[in-house]
Amino acid sequence: MTDFTRLRDPLWRRVVRASLPADGRRKGTRPAHDHGPGDRAHGAPGHDHGPATDGMRVMSHVATDKPRFEWRTLRTAEFGFPGDQRDALVAAVLDGTKTATSEPLDGYRRHDLDPGDELGNYEVVVDSLNQPVALIRINSVATVPLADVDQAHAARDGRGFTTAAQWRTAHEEFWNSDDFRAKLGEPTLELGDDTPIVLLGFRTYRPGDVVAGHVVDFSDVPGA
């Protein structure tokens, strides 16, 4: 996803697609976006989802009786550019305040991708050091004109926007930035009321959470 977050936002985010699970979904590389409110992301029942360090302690226990979730073949979700921007976005993803992101449909078209194919996909969220910190699963996909992005989505964005107008101003600034255009190779992106924007909702799974009977575990990653 490419949202000024997912570069999937930076504030948006960018997703570089690596290979997807062996379930017939496509592989490739894709642009960046931003995701926004809805239900707070929750982990599996019975697990404590406090600070990330607590999650790692839970993980070491759960991993002894459940197989690890195979995440290495998933695409990567890079929220914003490395540094303060990504650190803040990743923190919002981990604490559950950010449960959505977005990006212009043009980014999908440039990579011959269908936003609908996102639904149900898992992605690996990485931090500024490119280390995996969580998984997200896309649970909603919608394409709407830029002028129709509402306050509900703005709230799910996790950056404290109280109006859709605030969300739009921030995203237009990012999507029109030289850094964003250079990164995505989209120098001619035109934004207006009718510009199609892909809105994605997601659920976050932290270390120690159980996904389809498998535990999320990044402990074997160098530097983790």
- Pairing verdict, β 122-126 and 210-211: unpaired
Q: Tell me: the pLDDT tens digits for 37-88?
A: 333 333 333 333 333 434 333 343 444 567 888 888 899 999 988 999 899 9
Contact of 8 with 34, CB cutoff 8 Å: yes
Indicate the helix (H) or strand (E) that contains 102.
strand 100-104
Residue 15 DSSP SS3: strand
Give me the sheet containing 122-126, strands edge to edge. 2-6, 9-16, 75-79, 122-126, 132-145, 196-205, 100-104
CA angle 15, 26, 142 (to 5 degrees): 60
Could you tell me if 143 and 115 are in contact, meaning their C-beta atoms sit under 8 angstroms apart?
yes
Looking at 28-32, 103-107, 188-192, which range is the least confident one? 28-32
Whole-model pTM: value is 0.72
**pLDDT band, residue 223 (cuts 50/70/90):** low
Question: What is the pairing mode between strands 132-145 and 196-205?
Answer: antiparallel
Mean predicted confidence (pLDDT) in 206-212 = 91
Sign of CA dihedral 40, 43, 47, 50: negative
Contact present, 15 and 29 (Cβ < 8 Å): no
pLDDT, tens digit (0-9, with 9 covering 90-100), for 140-184 = 999 999 999 999 999 999 999 999 999 999 999 988 888 887 776
Per DSSP, 129 falls in state T
C-alpha span between 210 and 156 (Å, rounded): 24
